[in-house]
Structure formats: structure tokens, C-alpha cells
A = this chain, B = another copy of it.
Amino acid sequence: MLARMTVVADLPTPALVLDQVAFEHNLVSMAAVRPGAALRPHVKAHKCTAIARAQLAVGHERFCAATPREVLGLAVAGVGTDLLLANESVDAVRLRALGDLGDLVTVAVDSEATVIAAAAAGIRRVLIDVNVGLPRCGCAPEGAGSLADLARAHGLEVRGVMGYEGHVVGIVDAVERAAKCERSMARLLTAHQQVGGDIVSAGGTGTYAVNSWANEIQAGSYALMDTAYAELGLGFRPALRVAATVVSINPNFAVADAGLKAFGMDHGDPILEGGEVLFCSDEHVTFRSEASARVGERVLLQPAHIDPTMAYHDRVHVASGPGLGAEIVDEWSIDLRGWD
């Protein structure tokens, strides 16, 4: 008797499932528009070195990350030839670990304190992080030149600038998105004129096709796709689902076993195709479905926000395609979770 293959519907739940067909479509589509070093995939979106390896396999050797842990994990796994901490840190211990990686690592700096912390930790290369309109990190464009001078005075190689137009990437109207992107990038290019260096790093999934000013795009979401990006018509496909088991039935609704600890919830409830999610609680999703559900049946839910969803799970199951009948062909550790 042949051993039966494992399919999505066999998984213990809740289980994170990656649709390999959609995922590979997304990687190939992006690499066609932003080949090689024109894309610096952001691993914060997936926290998974196996996914980063797949991004490497389609030609991207440079990566960026939001935490020292993510950078270190990539380095230990031997994924990537140029790793950017696209974030500020003043953690002496964690920066030292990155400093020990030498020229493999570049870190973002946006203040005197972050320059001093980087230099003290043995970091060799930095980018000047410029605020291009998102109320988050980055120095004012007019301060970028003097910060670069300070960094060089501390012996740091300044490779260029970065600036994330995060307030622009989600704008649904493509014309408005492009116009606001241009305005943000004008700030970044002003800074770049003062800073010098080869790198102008910016962008995200929402602006990968319209940001023609940056020479590398820091996109992460495109690989698995957030529901918020669906309206933008970017051409990427949702590739991540959470499989759940129906555990309770009521005449008016059904309940499955995936809830607030299985989904990043900041962008709202997950989506159930052919159904309506009423609400989530710790370990449950209450929903209505066009088809009558029965206890034991599996359902697939699409998380609204990929990044904080991945961060809840220790592994993702790779399925040969969409749907409950797809064969499980691999299991990938979400090994860049946490901060240590």
C-alpha cells in the first residue's frame, strides 16, 4: 500500500500554508521588473531564511532587515552577499555582533547617537536614513550631509542614502501614488546630493513599479501579499493562508480554531473566501459560510497582514498550490523570529 501524501487538509491546525505556485509567480514577476540588485528583498515580511533563499535563487543577493536578529540569521544561514539593517539601533551587544560580520553588513543611521553606536560596535558601512514623509525614522534631508560627514569622521564608509515612503505605498490611486512617491524621492535625492555614495535605497511593494528614483527597492510584502495591497492591482497573488478546523457549528455561524494568536490583526480580520468573518478571539474565528460547514472540516483564511502573522508561527507548510487538496511538499522554519 502506498503511503498517502499529506495534503493541506491533513495538517494539525492552526497551520500556516504557503501556496508555492502563487509564491513563485510573485518572485518571478518581481524579478522581471526589478532584477538582481534592483531589488533588496525585505526579510521582515517573512522572517524565514528558506524564503530568502528562494529570493536569492531568482537573482537577489542583497537583503534588508528590520532587526539585528534578522541580519544575523541571514548571515549564519549564508544567505546574501550584502545585508542591510534598514533600521536604527543603539544596542551595543547586537550591533557588535553585526560589526563582527565586517563588510557583509551595512546599517542605517539617522542621528549622531546612532553613528557613534555603530562606530563603537565596529560597524564598517552605513547608509544615511532620510525621513521622506513617513512619521518614523530618518533625519531631515537638510541634515543628511553633515551626518554623513560625521560618519566618515568616525571611520565609517557611507554607501549612500535610504528613505522609506511608507505613507505612500498603500495609496490605491496609482497616479496619486506615483506623484507622492516622486515628492518623497525628491527629498531623498536632495539628501543624496549631499551624502554621496552609490546607493539610493527606498520603496516597497506598493511603489516597486513607480519608484524610478531609487536604484534599489526594499520590498517584502510582494512575496506573500497583504490583503491591503490587493486593491492596488500590483499583479502579485495572495500566497499565504492559515488552515483552521471547524470545531463548533451553530445555525447562524460556525467556529474554527484560528484566532488572535494565529493572525496579525492590525489590518483587521482575515478573509474567508466564500464566507464572512464575524470576529476573532484568542483561539477562534467565528464566521458565516455560503456552504454549510461541519465539525472537523477545514477552512483556509487569508491573513490581512503577513508580517505579524508570520511572527506568530514557528513554521510554514509549503503546498503545491492553492486549496485544501494541495500536497504538502516542504516545511520551512520561520527562523528569524524574536529579537535574540
Answer yes or no: A153 CB below 8 A from chain B CBs. Answer: no
Interface residues of A in 188-207 (CB under 8 A from B): none
Please state if B88 and A248 are interface contacts (CB–CB under 8 Å). yes
A187 to B308, CA, bound (A): 38
A311 to B283, CA, bound (A): 11
Interface residues of A in 5-28 (CB under 8 A from B): 12-14
Please state if A114 and B295 are interface contacts (CB–CB under 8 Å). yes
Chain B contacts for A152, CB-based, 8 A: none
Tier of interface size on chain A: 35 or more
Please state if A257 and B89 are interface contacts (CB–CB under 8 Å). yes
Answer yes or no: A111 CB below 8 A from chain B CBs. Answer: yes
Chain B contacts for A249, CB-based, 8 A: 111
Please state if A280 and B296 are interface contacts (CB–CB under 8 Å). no
Contact partner of A255 (CB less than 8 A), chosen from B94, B136, B296, is: B136
Please state if B255 and A91 are interface contacts (CB–CB under 8 Å). no
Q: How far is the CB of A96 from chain B (nearest CB, A)?
A: 12
Select from chain B the residue with minimum beta-carbon distance to A246: B90
A235 to B247, CA, bound (A): 35
Select from chain B the residue with minimum beta-carbon distance to A89: B247
Q: How far is the CB of A245 from chain B (nearest CB, A)?
A: 7
Chain B contacts for A66, CB-based, 8 A: 282-283
Chain B contacts for A257, CB-based, 8 A: 87, 89
A113 to B91, CA, bound (A): 53
Interface residues of A in 38-83 (CB under 8 A from B): 44, 66-67
Q: How far is the CB of A256 from chain B (nearest CB, A)?
A: 10
Answer yes or no: A338 CB below 8 A from chain B CBs. Answer: yes
Please state if B253 and A260 are interface contacts (CB–CB under 8 Å). no
A13 to B340, CA, bound (A): 10
Please state if A137 and B248 are interface contacts (CB–CB under 8 Å). yes
Answer yes or no: A141 CB below 8 A from chain B CBs. Answer: no
A191 to B281, CA, bound (A): 24
| Interface-centre pick from A166, A266, A311, A312 (highest chain B CB count, 10 A) | A266
Please state if A281 and B90 are interface contacts (CB–CB under 8 Å). no
Answer yes or no: A307 CB below 8 A from chain B CBs. Answer: yes
